[in-house]
Amino acid sequence: MKGLQNKKLIILFLIAVSFCLVFTSSAFAGYSVNFATDKIQIINPPNNGTEVHGVLPISGTAKVDEVWFCIRGPQDEVEVQKAQVTEGEFSIQVTLRFGPGLYTIWAADNKTSFDGKIRFTANNVIEDNRYISASNYVNSDDPAIIELSSNLVNDDMTDMEKAKAIHDWVAGNIEYDYQAYLEGDLGLKTASATLQDGSALCSGYSFLYAALSRAAGLPAKVVYGQIKSSQGWEAQKHAWNEVMINGKWINVDSTWDAGYIKDGSFVASLSNDYFNPAAAVFASTHSDGEDKFY
């Protein structure tokens, strides 16, 4: 195993962007239903409380370039999704991933503040599929993600072999974006964007690994937690994955297995140290893992 001194250099101190948590008080305090503002009009669904079988189609018109949606699940799970506006119109299939129950949907023209001016509900009747379905950042339904995943795995492979093949590809083909880390450019980007760019921070590694796994039929989480260096536990966040194999979640950190930083540059050095490591080994460097619902 590489020394912790090298390992700590590859890590991204991911600042977890808590989308949908920057509500004004009216968004939580008010219970009004509204489908339009002067910038955005929701045409579908036409009614509040629509019954949904896992996917809620939302469409409408807008005077902005993109429309952001905040979705709150039955147990207060929160995620965001985005629709691009083309010639004044938008359409998106919003997956309600957190099981049956009442979902609240807010719409706004930016991703950091949902003021409650557009707010409606939908009633989902499909069971929880949060770890197998696509999300805004883990966009496992992207054609390029689906194609790569199908090239990496096949029906003759065990689930463990599939998970390992995906790990090896991500760790072996995505370059750690150390320059972005140095410049403090910690913005999140989708799994498909990481695939296209060929470089990422730890969030990008984890989104891509989860997307390829879900496309292959493997339930996968994106986990944030703390990591340990030679100077002790770091307060900043790091992202890794958990993937389900034979009914059990195993840990995968493709960022740490991709290589290390030397003399200010990324050095690719594929390893398997953090693919399904022993629990005690992983706990010695990673702690307080928290599922972020991506």
- 107 & 250 share domain: no
- Structural domain of residue 243, as residue ranges? 4-17+136-291
Model pTM?
Answer: 0.83
- 174 & 194 share domain: yes
Count of domains for the chain: 2
At 262 the pLDDT is 83
Q: Report the C-alpha gap between 204 and 191 in whole angstroms.
A: 6
Query: What CATH number is given to the structural domain containing 238?
Result: 3.10.620.30
At 228 the pLDDT is 81
Determine the average pLDDT of the residues in 30-54: 90
Q: Rounded to the nearest 10 degrees, what angle do helices 143-152 and 159-173 cross at?
A: 120
**The pLDDT of residue 2 is above 70:** no
- Which residues, 6+ apart, have CB-to-CB distance to 67 below 8 Å? 40, 60, 82, 83, 85, 90, 92, 107, 108, 109
> Is 26 part of any domain?
no
- 89 & 13 share domain: no
At 218 the pLDDT is 98
At 88 the pLDDT is 97
Query: What CATH number is given to the structural domain containing 77?
Result: 2.60.40.3760
- 154 & 238 share domain: yes
Determine the average pLDDT of the residues in 129-145: 95
Determine the average pLDDT of the residues in 123-136: 93
At 115 the pLDDT is 87
- 211 & 271 share domain: yes
CA-CA-CA-CA torsion sign (131, 132, 133, 137): positive
At 230 the pLDDT is 62
**The pLDDT of residue 246 is above 80:** yes
**Domain final residue, candidates 100, 124, 148:** 124
At 182 the pLDDT is 85
DSSP annotation of 100: S
**The pLDDT of residue 81 is above 60:** yes
275 neighbors 164 (Cβ within 8 angstroms): yes
- 177 & 284 share domain: yes
**The pLDDT of residue 261 is above 60:** yes
Worst-scoring range by mean pLDDT, 190-194, 233-237, 261-265? 233-237
107 neighbors 50 (Cβ within 8 angstroms): no
> What pLDDT, in 10s, does the model give residues 7-25?
433 333 333 334 454 443 3
Determine the average pLDDT of the residues in 203-213: 98
DSSP annotation of 275: B
Buried b (16+ CB within 10 A) or exposed e, 238-265: bbbbbbbbeeebbbbbbbbbbbbbeeee
239 neighbors 222 (Cβ within 8 angstroms): yes
Worst-scoring range by mean pLDDT, 5-14, 32-41, 99-108? 5-14
- 201 & 286 share domain: yes
At 231 the pLDDT is 65
How many Å is the Cα radius of gyration of the chain? Answer: 20
At 16 the pLDDT is 31
Q: Report the C-alpha gap between 226 and 189 in whole angstroms.
A: 21
